[in-house]
């Protein structure tokens, strides 16, 4: 099939590349000429394991190409994916201006039947708006051409996006007519493996499914963070409780890890947007409002522990920080708890020296000018004479450090671990003072 992907960001690029990988011809569009030039030259603008090689392989095979030419991109694909950004408005609702601009471009340049697929995470009712925008543009052209608008939300995890796309748990497709359903079934046939993974449903249900999944996961995290905070005052180890409840198959082990709060490009934005959808439709989303408030508070949890230990005034203190990315295996800094931690420590007068295996370049774009904050060249150097080590991201490289060396370098053997990476009893036996989350 010929496929166009509008928006060559994280979701668009992964989607386009994986669809090319199974033999389709894919043209990816973006308004940013620098990004397109970079992609044409074989570079990729984001960090995602395995993606760069896959892009190169498919470009070389002639199945994947990139353009800024809107008319050419609309003419190309029988299926047109809309994968542009939907940033939150001031009131938390998703801003649809880029989605609707893409829809109008399709209406402006389409020449025959197209399936238009909403891949961006968009609120319930967006497919109707995309439909209306295309219809209005066609009417202005005085033309009538058949098309279908389909909702096909993505469930890609950063750091595992290729695997998630190539071996999906499920593929949710909201579609209203047989022609579109048939094309989507053929498109995803190569990803079915041993049993049917596509769930067909109506468009609005598909739109809500995406938000429901992310909101449910965010809820689990805030719930566990709240329990962890309680566990500390009760003298309970949350890690034992986590295992104790995870073994119930109705609960399951995933997404029960307490920490410094959820971040990233999806959970914070999607929880906000679903709260806004509720508000706009006269439903107070009480649970999700609390999920969000608990998460905002959790991002400060590690600093609260530092303050409890050193006092509110941290001037003259120096801290080493391991981890900046919102989670491991990505350079994504969006809504990262580390940002809140650094802001609060430096606001209280402390110096922070940070190391992250991948995200320092990305972090330097927004954090370079924070007074009192700087980046270290390697993992161990920020420890020299620091008052304590703080951990904000559970990178593999931090799992088993040389603790004897840590002890030698730090002013005192003191760790504030926002990701519960170590065994508290063992660390204490080694002479460390160890503060974790919920234990």
CA dist list (Å): 293 to 227, 229, 284, 301: 15, 14, 15, 13
In 275-357, beta strands by DSSP E? 318-322, 351-355
Of 106, 180, 266, 274, catalytic = 266
Spatial distance between the Cα atoms of 369 and 346, rounded to a whole number of angstroms = 12
Q: Does 286 bind ligand UDX (CB under 6 A)?
A: no
Query: Cα-Cα-Cα-Cα dihedral of 43, 48, 50, 53, to 10°?
Result: -10
Q: Does 256 bind ligand UDX (CB under 6 A)?
A: yes
Per DSSP, the three-state class of 81 is: strand
Backbone region of residue 385 per phi and psi (left: phi > 0; alpha: psi in -120 to 50; beta: other values): left
Q: Is the dihedral of CA 206, 190, 10, 110 positive or negative?
A: negative
Phi, psi of 348 (to 5 degrees): -85, 10
Closest distance of CB 136 from ligand UDX, Å: 31
With CB under 6 A as the rule, give the number of residues binding ligand UDX: 20
Closest distance of CB 394 from ligand UDX, Å: 8
- Map tokens 């809309």 to a residue: 82
Q: Does 13 bind ligand UDX (CB under 6 A)?
A: no
Q: By CB under 6 A, which span of 122-130, 194-202, 260-268, 426-434 interacts with ligand UDX? A: 260-268
| Active-site annotation holds for 28 | no
CB nearer ligand UDX, residue 261 or residue 372? 261
Cβ contacts of residue 34 below 8 Å, gap of 6+? none
Per DSSP, the three-state class of 238 is: helix
CB nearer ligand UDX, residue 155 or residue 200? 155
Interface residue with ligand UDX, options 7, 123, 264, 418 (CB under 6 A): 264
Task: Write each residue from 210 to 249 as x if it is in contact with ligand UDX (CB under 6 A), else as -, in one continuous string.
Answer: ----x--x---x----------------------------
Q: Which of 149, 203, 206 is nearest to 180 (CA)?
A: 149
Interface residue with ligand UDX, options 200, 255, 310, 403 (CB under 6 A): 255
Task: Write each residue from 198 to 217 as x if it is in contact with ligand UDX (CB under 6 A), else as -, in one continuous string.
Answer: ----------------x--x
Q: Which residue is nearest to ligand UDX (CB)?
A: 266
Interface residue with ligand UDX, options 267, 395, 416, 422 (CB under 6 A): 267
Spatial distance between the Cα atoms of 188 and 371, rounded to a whole number of angstroms = 50
Spatial distance between the Cα atoms of 115 and 147, rounded to a whole number of angstroms = 6
CB nearer ligand UDX, residue 277 or residue 298? 298
Per DSSP, the three-state class of 322 is: strand
CB nearer ligand UDX, residue 217 or residue 236? 217
Query: Restricting to residues 293-352, which ones interact with ligand UDX according to CB under 6 A?
Result: 326-327
CB nearer ligand UDX, residue 267 or residue 319? 267
Closest distance of CB 358 from ligand UDX, Å: 14
CB nearer ligand UDX, residue 156 or residue 203? 156
Q: Does 191 bind ligand UDX (CB under 6 A)?
A: no
Residue 391 CB neighbours (<10 A) = 24
Contacts from 297-300 at CB under 8 Å and sequence distance 24+?
Answer: 297/261, 298/222, 298/225, 298/229, 298/259, 298/260, 298/261, 298/337, 299/260, 299/261, 299/263, 299/337, 299/340, 299/341, 300/340, 300/341, 300/344
Interface residue with ligand UDX, options 44, 266, 341, 388 (CB under 6 A): 266
Number of separate helices (H) and strands (E) present in the chain: 17, 14
Apex 283 CA angle, 260 and 124, nearest 5: 80
Q: Which two tokens stand for residue 129?
A: 């708006």
Q: By CB under 6 A, which span of 21-29, 45-53, 245-253, 254-262 interacts with ligand UDX? A: 254-262
CB nearer ligand UDX, residue 73 or residue 219? 219
Closest distance of CB 406 from ligand UDX, Å: 23
CB nearer ligand UDX, residue 124 or residue 266? 266
In this structure, are residues 225 and 424 in contact, taking their beta carbons and an 8 Å threshold?
no
Closest distance of CB 260 from ligand UDX, Å: 7
Interface residue with ligand UDX, options 81, 188, 211, 257 (CB under 6 A): 257
Query: Restricting to residues 143-172, which ones interact with ligand UDX according to CB under 6 A?
Result: 154-158
Q: Does 259 bind ligand UDX (CB under 6 A)?
A: yes
Residues marked active site are found at: 266
| Binding region for ligand UDX (CB under 6 A) | 154-158, 214, 217, 221, 255-257, 259, 262-267, 326-327
């Amino acid at each position: 099939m010929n496929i166009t992907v509008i928006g060559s960001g994280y979701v668009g690029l992964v989607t386009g590349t994986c669809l090319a990988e199974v033999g389709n011809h894919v043209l990816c569009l973006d308004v940013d000429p620098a990004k397109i030039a970079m992609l044409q030259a074989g570079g990729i603008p984001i960090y995602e394991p395995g993606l760069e090689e896959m892009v190169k392989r498919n470009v070389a095979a002639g199945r994947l190409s990139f353009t800024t030419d809107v008319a050419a991109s609309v003419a190309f694909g029988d299926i047109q994916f809309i994968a542009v950004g939907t940033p939150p408005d001031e009131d938390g609702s998703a801003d649809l201006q880029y989605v609707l601009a893409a829809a109008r471009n399709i209406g402006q340049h389409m020449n025959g039947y197209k399936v238009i697929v909403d891949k961006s995470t968009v609120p319930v009712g967006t497919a109707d708006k995309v439909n209306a925008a295309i219809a209005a543009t066609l009417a202005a052209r005085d033309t009538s051409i058949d098309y279908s608008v389909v909702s096909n939300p993505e469930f890609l995890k950063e750091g595992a996006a290729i695997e998630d796309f190539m071996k999906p748990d499920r593929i949710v497709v909201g579609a209203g007519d047989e022609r579109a359903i048939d094309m989507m079934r053929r498109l995803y046939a190569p990803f079915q493996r041993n049993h049917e993974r596509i769930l067909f449903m109506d468009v609005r249900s598909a739109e809500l499914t995406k938000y429901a999944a992310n909101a449910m996961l965010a809820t689990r995290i805030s719930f566990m963070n709240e329990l962890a905070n309680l566990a500390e005052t009760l003298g309970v180890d949350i890690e034992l409780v986590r295992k104790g409840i995870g073994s119930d198959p109705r609960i399951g082990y995933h997404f029960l890890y307490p920490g410094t709060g959820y971040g990233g490009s999806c959970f914070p934005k999607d929880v906000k947007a679903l709260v806004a959808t509720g508000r706009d439709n006269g439903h107070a989303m009480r649970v999700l409002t609390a999920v969000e408030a608990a998460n905002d508070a959790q991002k400060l949890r590690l600093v609260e522990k530092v303050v409890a230990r050193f006092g509110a005034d941290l001037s003259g203190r120096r801290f080493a920080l391991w981890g900046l990315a919102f989670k491991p295996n990505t350079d994504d800094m969006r809504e990262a708890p580390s940002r809140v931690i650094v802001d609060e420590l430096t606001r209280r007068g402390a110096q922070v020296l940070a190391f992250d295996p991948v995200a320092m370049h990305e972090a330097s774009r927004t954090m370079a000018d924070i007074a009192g904050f700087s980046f270290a060249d390697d993992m161990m150097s920020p420890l020299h004479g620091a008052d304590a080590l703080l951990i904000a991201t559970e990178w593999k490289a931090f799992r088993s450090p040389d603790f004897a060396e840590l002890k030698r370098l730090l002013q005192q053997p003191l760790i504030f671990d926002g990701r519960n990476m170590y065994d508290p009893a063992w660390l204490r036996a080694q002479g460390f003072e160890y503060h974790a989350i919920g234990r």
